[in-house]
Amino acid sequence: MSTLTAAPPRAAAIGDPVRLRRAFGAFATGVTVVTVGGACPRGMTANSFTSVSLDPPLILVSVGKEAVMHRRLAEAATFSVSVLGAGQEAVARHFADRSRPLGADQFDAVGHLAGRVGDAPLIAGAAAHFECAKWRSYEGGDHTLYLGELLAMDESPECDPLVFHRGAFRGLAPARRGGVR
Instruction: Return d(Cα 176, Cα 34) in angstroms, integer.
Output: 32
Task: Quote the pLDDT of residue 6.
Answer: 60
The domain 34-156 having CATH identifier 2.30.110.10: the answer here is: yes
Q: Which pTM was predicted?
A: 0.85
Cis before residue 17, ω within 30 degrees of 0? no
Task: Quote the pLDDT of residue 8.
Answer: 54
pLDDT in tens, 132-158: 999 999 999 999 999 999 999 999 999
Q: Which residues of the chain have pLDDT under 70?
A: 1-13, 175-181
Domain ranges in the chain?
34-156
